[in-house]
Amino acid sequence: MSSNPQTPLVARREIVSWAMYDFAHSAFGTLVVTFIFSAYYARAIASDPIEGAIWWTRAVNASAIITALLMPVVGAMGDFGGLKKRFLLIATVVCVALTAGLFRMGPGDAWIAALVFVGASVAYESMQSLANSFLPELSTRENMGRISGLGWGLGYFGGLLCLIPALGMVSGWLPEEGGLNVRATNLLAAGWLLVFSIPTFVFLRERQPRRRAAVGTYVRMGFGRIGDTARELGRYRQAVRLLVARLVYNDGLATAFAMAAIFAGAEFGMETADLLVLGIVVNATAGASAIGFGFIQDRIGGKRTIAITLVLLMVATALAFFARTPGVFWAAAILLGLMVGPNQAASRALLGSFVPQSKQGELFGFYAFSGRFSSVLGPLSYGLILGATGSHRWAIASIIVFLIVGLALLARVDEEEGVELALAGATATE
């Protein structure tokens, strides 16, 4: 049974070119969000490391709120006008430009650096949402897990490969004066996205018919389609349940990624080079497991796959909390990598199986909403606990709460009914 009974045969090069987009945008998440710029911002750009960590969580929160409010409407506009690929190109160009702009940020530029990061992050998350909305068009229910896993796997391997030149840059290829060796990694992230996204724009097809209208018409139709969906939530109730569950458990994952480098630096004294080595190992394990679990998901289902990963992610977080040596923290980080890739790939694929063709951009816009709005409470909780206790350990322990609640909400999702409702929705729009 396919998520769309009329999905045509898709050329392998189109599937690979779509998956390559995960490879292309991985450098931003790896170098800017997780391993390098976040730690550099807290340590060097802000006036105080604790204050820098707190302001970083606020920047993450701001980008999350903007993306959450923006993407459902943009996705609905893309569905209505056949504009998903064009919007994807615009978001890519904006992200490239603003990421390159981070190169100019140095000590004393905390406010402007945070604003530029927020803009780049909104574009980055918008890119992912728009690219994700093509997944149901390229796959069937029988292979959606593998195709989603291929994309996430290539994404993590992209993150792994971009860390290698980044490690050279911070370890001696470039001078350290003015933080040049660290700041230059932002140019690497921008160039990586620019170059490796080219196959996507060459081979990925826009399948929705192009409708020409004034900008105001697109905006009105975007909001109108969201209103229609809100009135028909019963038709998409399993997708809604999944989005609510993901909103919570992804809060834990987003916090882990946003604060991992800062936690490692504060608790174990890891320098930039150490964090890059850690990032290489974590990305390698995450990439391999995302691809491997894609085959498992196609056999046992997305819901079970997500549940398994959430339980083991709780174990990884507990290990980090109790870790008193770098070795134990490394074990926690590797387990995190092994489970986070499959979790993200399975979540995307499971929603893809719940989405009728006419609602792909819109519902993946809500997927971005759940992903980015879920990036608010976790980092906010981390920052509040850190500010109250001065302890990164107690702050990171809050992640477990989000994972437990997310798992409980996931238990309410009926995977089979979700697929049946998507098929009924596709038939109703024909």
Q: How far apart are CA 245 and CA 238, in angstroms?
A: 11
| Residue 17 CA, distance from chain mean position | 18
Q: Which of 100-114, 237-251, 276-290 has the lowest average pLDDT?
A: 276-290
Domain assignment present for 253 = yes
Q: Which pLDDT band holds residue 16 (cuts at 50, 70, 90)?
A: very high
Does 3 have pLDDT greater than 50? no
What share of the chain has pLDDT > 70, as a percent?
A: 87
**pLDDT at residue 30, as a whole number:** 86
Residue 63, in any domain of the structure: yes
pLDDT at 339 over 70: yes
Two tokens, residue 142: 């029988």
Domain span at residue 398 reads: 12-428
- Over the stretch 96-138, which tens digit does the pLDDT of each residue have? 999 999 999 999 999 999 999 999 999 998 898 899 889 988 9
pLDDT of residue 33: 87
pLDDT at position 75 = 77
Is residue 208 scored above 90 in pLDDT?
no
Per residue in 149-207, pLDDT (tens digit) is: 999 899 989 988 998 899 899 988 999 999 999 999 999 999 999 999 999 999 999 88
What angle, rounded to 10 degrees, do the helices at 302-322 and 392-410 form?
Answer: 160
- For residue 297, is it within any domain? yes
Which residue's entry shows tokens 């569950």?
Answer: 245
Residue among 189, 71, 194, 81 nearest 132 (CA):
71
Which of 166, 363, 130, 378 has the alpha carbon at shortest distance from 278?
166
What confidence tens digit (pLDDT) does each residue in 372-411 have? 665 667 777 888 888 888 888 898 888 999 999 999 999 9
Task: Convert the pLDDT of each residue in 21-37 to its tens digit.
Answer: 999 999 998 899 877 89
Task: Evaluate whether residue 4 is within a structural domain.
Answer: no
- Identify the pLDDT of residue 303: 95
Contacts of 234 (CB under 8 A, 6+ apart): none
- CATH code: domain of residue 290: 1.20.1250.20
Going by C-alpha positions, the residue among 121, 126, 123 that lies closest to residue 59 is 121
| Position 16 in a domain | yes
pLDDT at 7: 45
| Alpha helix positions (H), 133-143 | 135-138
Q: Is the pLDDT of residue 229 over 70?
A: no
Q: Where residue 57 falls among pLDDT bands split at 50, 70, 90?
A: confident
What Å distances lie between residue 154 and 82, 132, 376, CA to CA? 27, 14, 27
Note whether residue 5 is domain-resident: no
Tell me how far apart the alpha carbons of residues 160 and 277 are, in angstroms, rounded to a whole number: 10
Residue 315 in this model has a pLDDT that exceeds 90: yes
Q: What is the dihedral of CA 365, 367, 368, 370, to 10 degrees?
A: 130
- C-alpha distances in Å from residue 234, one per residue of 105, 196, 226, 417: 48, 40, 14, 12
Listing DSSP states for 250-317 in one string gives HHHHHHHHHHHHHHHHHHH---HHHHHHHHHHHHHHHHHHHHHHHHHHHHH-HHHHHHHHHHHHHHHH
Question: CA–CA distance from 161 to each of 233, 251, 276, 299 (Å)?
Answer: 42, 27, 11, 30
Least confident of 35-39, 254-258, 350-354: 254-258
Residue 199 is predicted with a pLDDT of 96
- The verdict on residue 31 lying in a domain is yes
Rounded mean pLDDT of the chain?
A: 85
Domain count for the chain? 1
Pick from 149, 133, 113: nearest CA to 38? 113
Is the entire prediction scored with pTM above 0.85? no
Sign, CA dihedral 98-261-53-44, equals negative
Residue 294 lies in a domain: yes
pLDDT for position 13 = 94
Instruction: Cite the beta strand spans of 38-176 per DSSP E.
Output: none
pLDDT at 371: 64
Two tokens at 313?
A: 């992610």
421 compared with 359, residue with greater pLDDT: 421
How many whole angstroms separate alpha carbon 185 and alpha carbon 163? 9
